[in-house]
Amino acid sequence: MYTTLLSLHSIFRWLVVLGVLYTLYRAYSGMFGKRSFDPADAKTRKYTVIAAHIQLVLGLALYFLSPITKYFMSNFSAAVKVRDIRFYGMEHAIVMVLAIALITIGSAISKKKTDDHAKFKALAIWFTIAVILVLLMTPWPFSPFSSKPFFRF
C-alpha cells in the first residue's frame, strides 16, 4: 500500500507540474496575445486542479503511512532536528498544501471573472506563485532538501 501510494505520488507530480506550467503558458500567451479564453483554456485549468487535488489526497494518505512521517510524529523533538525527516514531516507537507490551495483559489477566481483578460490574469498570478512553491518543495534528485528519483515504479 505504502509503496503503491509513493509511486502514484511520484508519477502525479509530473501531471501537476506539467499541468500548472501548461496552464501558465496558455494564461500568459492569452493575456499578452489578447486572445479569447476558449474551452481548451477552461479544460486545462480544470484538469490541472483535479490533478493537484488527487496529489493532495495521495500526499495526505502517505503522510499517515510513510515510515518517515510516522517517525516524525512519534519522535517530534529529535526528528525536527534531522533535515530529511523534517522536510517531509513539515516543510514539504505544509508548503504543498498551501500551493494546492493557491491553485484552487486561482482557478476559482479565474472561473468567476467574466472578462477574458481578467480570467488569464488571475491564472497567471495565482499559478505563478504556486508553481514556484511546488518546484522548490519537490524532492528532485538535485534538491538540497531531499533527493528522490524522477520516476518511481
Stretch that binds ligand HEM, among 22-30, 54-62, 73-81, 114-122 (CB under 6 A): 54-62
The verdict on 134 binding ligand HEM (CB under 6 A) reads yes
148 counts as binding ligand HEM under rule CB under 6 A = yes
**Should residue 97 be labelled a site residue for ligand HEM when binding is judged by CB under 6 A?**
yes
Sign of the four-CA dihedral 106, 101, 126, 39? negative
- Quote helix, strand, coil % in the chain, to nearest 5: 80, 0, 20
Residue 63 sits in the site that holds ligand HEM (CB under 6 A) = yes
Is 19 among the residues that bind ligand HEM (CB under 6 A)? no
The answer to the question of residue 55 lying near ligand HEM (CB under 6 A) is yes
Size of the site for ligand HEM (CB under 6 A): 28
CA dist 146 and 100 (Å) reads 20
Tell me which residue has cell 490541472: 48
Cβ proximity of 16 and 55 under 8 Å: yes
Identify which of residues 31 and 79 has a Cβ nearer to ligand HEM in the complex.
Answer: 79
Taking CB under 6 A as the rule, does residue 24 contact ligand HEM?
A: no
Contacts of 72 (CB under 8 A, 6+ apart): 79, 80, 85, 86, 88, 89, 90
Element (H, E) at 1: none
SS3 145: coil
Return residues touching ligand HEM (CB under 6 A). 6, 9-10, 13, 16, 52, 55-56, 59-60, 62-63, 66, 68-69, 88, 92-93, 96-97, 99-100, 134, 138-139, 148-149, 152
